[in-house]
Amino acid sequence: MRVPEHYFSAEPASPAEQRTLHVRLRGRDVEVSTAGGVFSPTRLDLGTQVLLRTVPDPPPEGDLLDLGCGWGPVTIALAQASPRARVWAVDVNARALDLTARNAERLGLTGVRTVQPDNVPEDVRLAAIWSNPPIRVGKAVLHEMLDRWLPRLADGGSAYLVVQRNLGADSLAKHLAATLPAGLEVERAASAKGFRVLRVTRTA
């Protein structure tokens, strides 16, 4: 029996049949390429829609992170809003990174860097993180991922995470509040269409 493939597979085995989508990202209409083997290849998923509708504008400069970039909608929104910033598009899925790079190039977004998690330099401190994290990897992996990246927020930086309520948004907020190091505070920033947007801010 064939084992179902997940969008968080490092090297998707499914055919890379590309399709073109026309989507609206924070008031801008864009044409992008997607393909099977990545997250939500046929549409802009509802969680990302909620995230992009509710977050404030990102800082105009500095290092910004899209954690789990998929085909790149959050990366594109960050780079369009902050063309002088360096936007790190991070994913374990090689096909997702390739699509994001192609989409950014097509749109002339020169500040985008598409990389595997280990290829973000250790000294990079993040002015903002926007993420629709891969909840279905399981709690242990998800917690490890967030424990790795949230402490890299720069002073005054904020992370915005969109999580479906019935997939553990509230329990994730409690976990972060209990385990984040001193100087990082978590709160619910928004709630819409069955999703929570959690904000983690470095206060010191």
Look up residue 155 and give its two tokens.
């002073």
Read off φ and ψ for residue 122, nearest 5 degrees: -65, -25
> Please, what are the domains in the chain?
18-202 (3.40.50.150)
pLDDT tens digits, 41-95? 999 999 999 999 999 999 999 999 999 999 999 999 999 999 999 999 999 999 9
Read off φ and ψ for residue 156, nearest 5 degrees: 80, -5
State how far the Cα of 118 lies from the Cα of 79, in Å rounded to an integer: 21
Report CA 136 to chain centroid distance, whole Å.
Answer: 14
pLDDT tens digits, 13-38? 455 689 999 999 999 999 999 999 99
Q: Which helix (H) or strand (E) holds 48?
A: helix 46-54
